[in-house]
């Protein structure tokens, strides 16, 4: 089977329409339709019900879904393995939320590479939404993220718990989330939801940043306040140039390593266990 048929099928499942799937896989809508027709001819069954509201899976489509995910994951891994140098036995594709790079994954990588000396590691940062999609589609071997979606084919190993706290680089009496000095840092959908729940009346902050490290640099240059994972800003708190706003709400999220359940004893499972053992020493 052409791997693009499976990839296009998964794009339709994710987006719900042939039009949006075409944008996702960077082809025309007619190409998506042609690929799905070819797939259905090869399977001998329709995989989607077409309607005005979009495309929904048939029973055959639901059965094929897990196989499509395996096909894409296997092909992605095969391409990585084929390009490995002779000294490497395998490749590991890791994705992590940006907030879990700072103060954790970037510190854990050297020890992880030491423990897996013949494994080539490719690591990237992505939003929780992207990580969820790519781990389910098999594009990633391992996703490091908060609150993973419960999927029967995936295993989630808890690594540690993060606590997000409000801190200031200015006078303690000045900053609140209602102040013009407050910087909203987007730490992902979990944080956005809890922030809205705790501050429903808050107007849109004047400054919003999508990368946590930028927020920390901004607070170093301008007296301001913002939310950060406590483990990330502990050195600054101990040095005294950041101060904790004790009365502000705190948000706690468990961080997980997510991988296919068939890889529990394989390389992704080994890496996940290693990252959990490293959490206590690097966080």
Nearest CA to 258 out of 161, 144, 159 is that of 144
Task: State the chain's mean pLDDT as an integer.
Answer: 87
Average pLDDT over residues 42-61: 92
Half-sphere exposure of 204 (CA within 13 A, CB side): 2
Q: Tell me the domains of the chain and their CATH numbers.
A: 3-67 (1.10.10.10), 81-159+255-282 (3.40.190.10), 162-253 (3.40.190.10)
Distance separating the N- and C-terminal Cα atoms of the chain = 45
Interatomic CA distance for residues 257 and 52, integer angstroms: 39
Where on the phi/psi map is residue 35: left (φ > 0), alpha (ψ -120 to 50), or beta? alpha
Among 119-133, 152-166, 171-185, 191-205, which is the least confidently predicted range? 171-185
pLDDT higher than threshold 80 for residue 175: no
Please tell me the pTM assigned to this model: 0.67
What pLDDT was estimated at residue 257?
A: 96
What pLDDT was estimated at residue 80?
A: 66
- Token look-up 């009496």 returns 173
Residues 179 and 207 sit within 8 Å (Cβ to Cβ):
no
Written as six digits, the tokens of 252 are 């706690």
Residues 243 and 68 sit within 8 Å (Cβ to Cβ):
no
**228: helix, strand or coil:** strand
Share of the chain above pLDDT 70, in %: 91
Residues 176 and 216 sit within 8 Å (Cβ to Cβ):
no
Each residue's pLDDT tens digit, 80-138: 666 666 666 688 899 999 889 888 999 999 999 999 998 888 899 988 888 988 888 77
Interatomic CA distance for residues 92 and 139, integer angstroms: 11
Four-point Cα dihedral 80, 84, 156, 184, nearest 10: -80
Nearest CA to 167 out of 238, 233, 245, 229 is that of 245
Residues whose CB is less than 8 angstroms from the CB of residue 188 and which lie 6 or more positions away in sequence, other chains included: 97, 99, 127, 128, 146
Interatomic CA distance for residues 140 and 137, integer angstroms: 8
Residues whose CB is less than 8 angstroms from the CB of residue 220 and which lie 6 or more positions away in sequence, other chains included: 169, 241
Each residue's pLDDT tens digit, 216-234: 889 988 889 999 999 989 9
Interatomic CA distance for residues 259 and 144, integer angstroms: 9
Nearest CA to 122 out of 162, 94, 89 is that of 94
């Amino acid at each position: 089977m052409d791997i693009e048929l499976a990839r296009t099928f998964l794009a339709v499942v994710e987006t719900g329409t042939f039009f949006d799937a075409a944008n996702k896989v960077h082809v025309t809508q007619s190409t998506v339709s042609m690929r799905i027709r070819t797939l259905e001819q090869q399977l001998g069954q329709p995989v989607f019900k077409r309607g005005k509201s979009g495309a929904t899976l048939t029973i055959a489509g639901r059965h094929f879904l897990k196989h499509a995910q395996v096909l894409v994951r296997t092909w992605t891994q095969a391409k990585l393995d084929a390009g490995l140098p002779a000294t490497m036995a395998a490749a590991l594709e890791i994705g992590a939320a940006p907030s879990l790079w700072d103060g954790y994954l970037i510190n854990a990588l050297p020890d992880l590479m030491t423990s897996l000396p013949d494994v080539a590691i490719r690591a990237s940062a992505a939003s929780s939404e992207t990580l969820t999609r790519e781990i389910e589609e098999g594009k990633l071997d391992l996703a490091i993220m908060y609150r993973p979606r419960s999927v029967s084919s995936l295993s989630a190993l808890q690594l540690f718990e993060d606590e997000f706290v409000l801190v200031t680089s200015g006078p303690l009496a000045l900053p609140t989330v209602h102040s013009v000095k407050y910087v909203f840092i987007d730490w992902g959908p979990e944080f956005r939801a809890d922030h809205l729940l705790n501050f429903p009346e808050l107007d849109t902050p004047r400054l919003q940043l999508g990368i946590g490290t930028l927020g920390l640099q901004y607070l170093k240059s301008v007296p301001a306040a913002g939310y950060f994972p406590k483990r990330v800003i502990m050195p600054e708190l101990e040095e005294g140039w950041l101060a904790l706003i004790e009365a502000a709400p705190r948000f706690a999220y468990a961080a997980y390593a997510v991988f296919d359940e068939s890889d529990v004893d394989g390389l992704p499972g080994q890496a996940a266990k290693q990252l959990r053992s490293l959490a206590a020493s690097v966080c």
